[in-house]
Amino acid sequence: GESVGLHLPTLSVQEGDNSIINCAYSNSASDYFIWYKQESGKGPQFIIDIRSNMDKRQGQRVTVLLNKTVKHLSLQIAATQPGDSAVYFCAERAGNQFYFGTGTSLTVIP
Amino acid sequence: GAGVSQSPRYKVAKRGQDVALRCDPISGHVSLFWYQQALGQGPEFLTYFQNEAQLDKSGLPSDRFFAERPEGSVSTLKIQRTQQEDSAVYLCASSLPRGVVYFGQGTRLTVV
């Protein structure tokens, strides 16, 4: 399958700080990317998406940046809260499939 | 429905048993996906439906795995003669054509 990898398997941040989670993808033909949050015992929850014709997209407290030149995706979470503690996955669409990386575990320290 | 619904949430099967996992996608979603997620890993693609047509089953690990969606809505993932390595969370997801993919809560299968 395709390779979607995350640079940091774990990330700890202080409550109130900003978090940045990175993701590398390998398929230059991928045209759509989604960030998911997964809490223990639950399914992946959609956070934000971005299409390949965009470089940046903002949501509520979250921003996704896409650098197609180096095939890199990042998720920025502003003013990180304890409820943000979870595993975060990026996923890329190639054809009919979405490929996921291993995930980054984010821990927010109160 | 309000979201993707999967049942059962938990399933314990003895090795060699057959299991059937059910997925009710979001109403109107033509695309349906099945994923397998091992502990500590990201979801791994199993198969994809567009309406009732199974367009991609390249991720099914063996011929013991079979999925169907006969009326283009509810889908069932069947695993025959379960083995311990089949223990995982099975996730179902649905979407509008090329839209956001929404996941269910998953079925945790434990083979003993």
pLDDT tens-digit map of B56-92: 999 999 999 999 999 999 999 999 999 999 999 999 9
Dump pLDDT digits (tens) for A34-92. 999 999 999 999 999 999 999 999 999 999 999 999 999 999 999 999 999 999 999 99
- Nearest by CB to residue A44, choosing from B50, B55, B103, is B103
- CB spacing of A97 vs B44 below 8 angstroms: no
For chain A, say whether B103 makes contact (Cβ under 8 Å): yes
Closest among A20, A4, A3 to A64, alpha carbons compared: A20
Rounded to an integer, the average pLDDT of B6-24 is 98
Pairing of strands B5-7, A104-109: unpaired
Q: Is the pLDDT of residue A8 over 60?
A: no
Chain B residue with the nearest C-alpha to that of A49: B100
- Which H or E element spans position B50? strand B44-50
How much is the pLDDT for A28? 87
Rounded to an integer, the average pLDDT of A7-23 is 89
Contacts of B105 in chain A (CB under 8 A): 41-43
How much is the pLDDT for A4? 57
